[in-house]
């Protein structure tokens, strides 16, 4: 089952972070008793803001899409999305970044 992944994180000093992630999975009928395939896409986007000290808030949107075709099962096309509002306890600085030089 091949998998694709792309991720991007933007950090704005000690105040904010934007995180974007996308994944794709292709499930084939190779080595399976079922005849068919599935393509699954999953994406996440979040914004985290430091409010005071180590306290922050985050908003996250997650989406999943499934496109499947099997001989014995009717064609499936499903999409689900969720929105989350979260309280986060952050580290002292940098949203987890490290010095790379």
42-52 residue pLDDT tens: 999 999 999 99
Kindly report the backbone phi and psi dihedral angles of residue 95, in degrees, each rounded to the nearest multiple of 5, phi listed first: 50, 35
User: Does 33 score more than 70 pLDDT?
Assistant: no
Tokens of 11: 């950090």
Sequence-distant (6+) residues with CB within 8 A of 47 are: 16, 17, 18, 19, 58, 59
Predicted pLDDT at 32: 61
Whole-number average pLDDT of the chain: 87
pTM assigned to the model: 0.78
How many H-runs (helices) and E-runs (strands) does the chain carry?
A: 0, 5
Better pLDDT: 58 or 30: 58
CB atoms within 10 A of CB 100: 4
CB atoms within 10 A of CB 34: 12
Predicted pLDDT at 3: 86
């Amino acid at each position: 089952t091949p998998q694709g992944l792309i991720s991007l994180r933007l950090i704005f000093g000690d105040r904010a972070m934007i995180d974007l992630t996308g994944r794709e999975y292709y499930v084939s009928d190779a080595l399976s008793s079922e005849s068919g395939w599935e393509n699954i896409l999953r994406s996440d986007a979040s914004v985290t803001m430091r409010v005071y000290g180590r306290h922050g808030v985050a908003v996250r949107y997650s989406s999943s899409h499934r496109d499947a075709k099997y001989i014995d099962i009717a064609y499936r096309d499903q999409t689900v999305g969720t929105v989350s509002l979260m309280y986060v306890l952050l580290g002292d600085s940098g949203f987890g970044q490290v010095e790379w030089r």
